Amino acid sequence: MSPAWPAIMARAVENLRAHGIDDPIRDARLLLAHALDIAPDRLTLHLDDTPDAAAVDRFNDLIAQRCDRVPVSHLRGRRMFWGRDFTVSAAVLDPRPETETLVAAALALPFTTVLDLGTGSGAILLSLLAERVDARGTGVDLSPEALAVARENAQTFGLDGRAKFLQSDWFAEVSGSYDLIVANPPYIAAGEMAGLAPELAHEPRIALTDEGDGLGAYRTITAAAPAYLNQGGWLVVEIGHRQGPAVSDLFLQAGFRGVRVIQDMDRRDRVVQGRWRARAQTGGFTRIAL
């Protein structure tokens, strides 16, 4: 007689724990639900079902890949962000909870047009458009594979009429002007890559590091953004938690006013924002908690 699902789950949890997975019970439950093609919150109702050999094989394969530190979101092809279940893949950066700090900061600002630089899955842009029903936006990315994921998400959420996507190296193919520009650019320094969590090895390197000091994208964005912002428009970017002063200085040098560093729920610097005014900037920046 084949083992029941609880016994199969228990072995999977032990295997995940032995491979250093932080929350093996959570991951095993999510992956079993995926193997059974049911919603995670329905899993308990199916644990007494007789295991099907094909489903057991699917589950064991998922567990093996998770032990190799493939992210759960990649295995499931889904990631919850700002209350919506986004399609994700190895072609896009996995949307993370701390990036919701950027969404919250942007939604506190007035805008009807938004440009999302390095859109990836479209999580930031589409979350903003879903909440601001009179807004329209453009997401740009260098990767055609990432843009395909973003377009799929726009269609899923019924936002393809208000969101367009463009292949571009930052501003290279962008035209027009916007009330708001947002970006979660690669901000990990090349020298820090070796010390990252193993899961990040499965994400697109181009979305993680600029292969330099981690500030290269901010130099490009802050220098070019004023040409694409309406007067009084806003630039809002995610940063690494030690980059607040350096990125704020780049905003100030570019002429942005009212520069703020916003902290995430862990009280770490996470977002820098500034307003474009066509006159010289004076003063420094302020730091606020979300």
| Residue 177 belongs to domain with CATH number | 3.40.50.150
> Distance between CA atoms of 171 and 179, rounded to whole angstroms?
15
The DSSP line for 106-141 is: HHTS--SEEEEET-TTSHHHHHHHHH-TT-EEEEEE
pLDDT of residue 2: 63
- Greatest Cα-to-Cα distance within the chain, rounded to the nearest angstrom: 78
pLDDT digit string (tens) for the chain, length 290 residues:
468 999 999 999 999 999 999 999 999 999 999 999 999 999 999 999 999 999 999 999 999 999 999 999 999 999 999 999 999 999 999 999 999 999 999 999 999 999 999 999 999 999 999 999 999 999 999 999 999 999 999 999 999 999 999 999 999 999 999 999 999 999 999 999 999 899 999 999 999 999 999 999 999 999 999 999 999 999 999 999 999 999 999 999 999 999 999 999 999 999 999 999 865 444 555 555 55
In a domain, 264, yes or no: yes
Do 173 and 52 share a domain, yes or no?
A: no
> Distance between CA atoms of 116 and 28, rounded to whole angstroms?
34
Q: Which domain holds residue 273?
A: 87-289
Do 59 and 165 share a domain, yes or no?
A: no
pLDDT of residue 3: 83
The total number of structural domains that make up the chain: 2
End residue of a domain, out of 38, 68, 98 = 68
pTM: 0.91
Do 101 and 178 share a domain, yes or no?
A: yes
Phi, psi for residue 224 in degrees, rounded to 5: -90, -25
Do 63 and 100 share a domain, yes or no?
A: no
Do 147 and 284 share a domain, yes or no?
A: yes
With a CB cutoff of 8 Å and minimum separation 6, the contacts of 45 are none
- Residue for token digits 């190799």? 68
